[in-house]
Amino acid sequence: MKKLRGLLSILLASIMVFGYSGQITMAKDVRTKGLEDGRVQLVLEFEDIEEAEWAAGYITKMQSKKVLHGFEDGTFRPNQPVTRVEAIVTAVRLMGLEAEAKSKSMETQLHFKDADQLDKRFPWAKGYVIVALEHGLFDASEDKIIPDKPASRVWVSSLLVKSLGLQDEALLQMTKIPDFNDAKAIPAGAVGYVNVAVSQGIVSGYPDGTFKPNKSVTHAEMAALLDRTNDGLLQNQGAVSISGTVKEILFTTGVTDNGDNKANGQIKIETLNKELSSYAISSKLLVKHDKKFILANQLAVNDTVKLIVKDGQVVEAELFIAKEASKDETPKTEPKPQQKSKQDQKASAITEFEFEVELAGKDKMKLEYKSKKGTAQAEVEKASKKNKEKLKGKQAIQYLEELLAEVELTDSMSSKEAVDKLLAALDINRDQVEELELEVRFSNGKQMKIEIENDDDDDDNDDDDDNDDDDNDDD
């Protein structure tokens, strides 16, 4: 019982933060749950979380990072539209700028036509708006905040792309028409931001092929969008993803519970490539565990985990669930709805894969695959003089995961070995290759980049020229 009370006190200290209203707020339904293996799970839930069960993992993840908090009555209102001011506040928090926002003077004058509305109705959010302005999260043409207006998908997409600092990339993609049936409904000035948001995996379209740019974003959807943006922020900051098995974990004893995440331990991981690496970790770090959490000090040797490491310290972690771990070591990860196959396990060591090849007959092939948090995106393009084929969605994912499982690329492979295995799997003769580019990012943070340009054709032409000269001399 003492252990349970201690865990609960740490949990409360970690999630009692200011919510949208500026008042201390937290999920009412905060409890602990004993697991079969003796660990204690921390259940961070709002009383209305069941209204958007699909987003529970995203909501609790952003809640644990103190980005989303909810309302004073203990609800999250997942299906209620998020307002512009709420979206701005969460973006600033996600960027790690909340302390800066709280330090801003409330006397600061804002040059918005409706600045008085912010002062009167949302004074607690003024510092966040100031920081958002200073970090370029507003369009130059925006002369109103309209704080209580429901935030649309296109507006939130632009906001989050700016929070990643990808404005220049968005400007370069302003003339690329998005691949949606309702692309004409996307404002011209937002086209580049939508393109980048899609390529970054922040947003996607609907099953009917539409984007619905003017549709309001709900609180639950905002949690998912923030979670995906968080991946990009961490990557921009140099964080890497490490997946593997815990071999050692040790924490310093006698450390008081002061509510921070200062590292007081070390964790040693064996990666999928059998490499050993050690990282600093805090015993109070909340580790995702089946849409809920455990504290890092409950991780154990032989656990299969995914760590996000920044500057040598674990900043995020997830404990994978395995059915009958002693018999079947295949981790079952959320949000995949089914047990991963052996093909998926091998492909999961690769988080990003891009391959382009041009053959002598001018046939071309382009393959793209990305996997983030168990969610995959893929695209396959094949073009010849006669026709062009394109695969997207589930078909492309299945094709590329089967290909990657067959090829079994690793970061220790030589360039020649990687290319030879890939070409063999694709049934391409190396002599046919004129240009080839391959870029792979692995789950341990390592990368592989290969570029090949075949000049054999030029050599053949030179030989032909030499033969012609010889013939002329004979005459």
**403 phi and psi, to 5 degrees?**
-65, -50
What's the domain range around 435? Answer: 350-453
Predicted confidence at residue 406, as pLDDT, reads 78
Strand ranges for 296-406 from DSSP E: 304-310, 313-319, 350-359, 364-372, 375-383, 388-392
Res 380: pLDDT: 87
Q: What is the pLDDT of residues 437-462, one digit of tens each?
A: 999 988 777 889 999 887 644 444 44
**Which residue is associated with the tokens 């404990």?**
319
Go through the chain and tell me how many residues it has.
475
Closest to 171 measured CA to CA, from 188, 192, 185, 201: 192
* Residues 354 and 307 occupy one common structural domain: no
pLDDT band for position 237 (50/70/90)?
confident
What is the spatial distance between Cα 70 and Cα 72, in angstroms, rounded to a whole number? 7
pLDDT at 87 over 90: yes
Are 187 and 89 in a shared domain?
yes
Give the chain's domain count: 3
Residue among 379, 433, 425 at smallest CA distance from 402? 425
Q: DSSP letter string over 16-57?
A: -EE-TTSSEE--SEEEEEE-TTS-EEEEEE-TTGGGGGGGHH
Nearest to 35 by CA among 239, 273, 293: 293
160 in Cβ contact with 202 (< 8 Å)? yes
If asked whether residues 102 and 141 sit together in one domain, one would say yes
The residues facing 376 across adjacent strands are 371
Assigned token pair, 453: 């340009």
Question: Is residue 77 in a domain?
Answer: yes
* Nearest by Cα to 160 from 316, 152, 378, 78: 152
Averaged confidence pLDDT in the chain? 80
Same domain, 417 and 271: no
Q: What is the pLDDT of residue 10?
A: 40
Q: How many CA atoms lie within 13 A of 66 on its CB side?
A: 19
Tokens of 335: 């949000």
Q: Are residues 170 and 292 in the same domain?
A: no
- Burial class from Cβ neighbours inside 10 Å (0-12, 13-18, 19+) for residue 391 reads middle
3-state helix, strand, coil in the chain (%, to 5): 35, 25, 40
Q: Could you read off the pLDDT of 114-123 as tens digits, one per residue?
A: 999 999 999 9
184 with 296, same domain: the answer is no
Same domain, 179 and 225: yes
213-227, 358-372, 451-465: segment of lowest average pLDDT: 451-465
Which one has a higher pLDDT value, 174 or 475?
A: 174
* DSSP structure class, residue 331: -
Residue partners of 184: CB distance under 8 A and separation at least 6 = none
Amino acid present at 165? G
Give the residue from 62, 229, 70, 246 showing the smallest Cα distance to 162: 229
Q: What are phi and psi of 271, to 5 degrees?
A: -75, 175
Q: Of 298, 303, 272, 300, which Cα lies nearest the Cα of 283?
A: 298
For residues 438 and 300, membership in a common domain is answered with no
Q: Is the pLDDT of residue 224 over 90?
A: yes
CA distance 12 to 36: 24
Does 40 reside within a domain? no
Clarify whether residues 222 and 316 are in a common domain.
no
Round to whole Å and give the CA distance between 102 and 108.
13
Strand ordering across the sheet containing 375-383:
388-392, 375-383, 364-372, 350-359, 433-442, 447-453
Kindly indicate the confidence band of residue 32, based on its pLDDT and cuts at 50, 70 and 90. low
Q: Are residues 118 and 173 in the same domain?
A: yes
135 close to 97: Cβ distance less than 8 angstroms: yes
244 & 229 share domain: no
What CATH number is given to the structural domain containing 267?
2.40.50.140
Is the pLDDT at 19 greater than 50, yes or no? no
pLDDT at 83 over 90: yes
Q: Alpha-carbon distance 73 to 67, whole Å?
A: 18
140 and 55, same domain (yes or no): yes
CA distance 453 to 419: 13
Q: Pick the range with the lowest mean pLDDT from 268-282, 372-386, 398-412.
A: 372-386
Q: Do 209 and 180 meet the contact criterion of CB atoms below 8 Å apart?
A: yes
Decide which of 331 and 135 is more confident: 135
pTM, whole model, 2 decimals? 0.62
- Please give the average per-residue pLDDT across 344-356, as a whole number: 70
248 located within any domain: yes
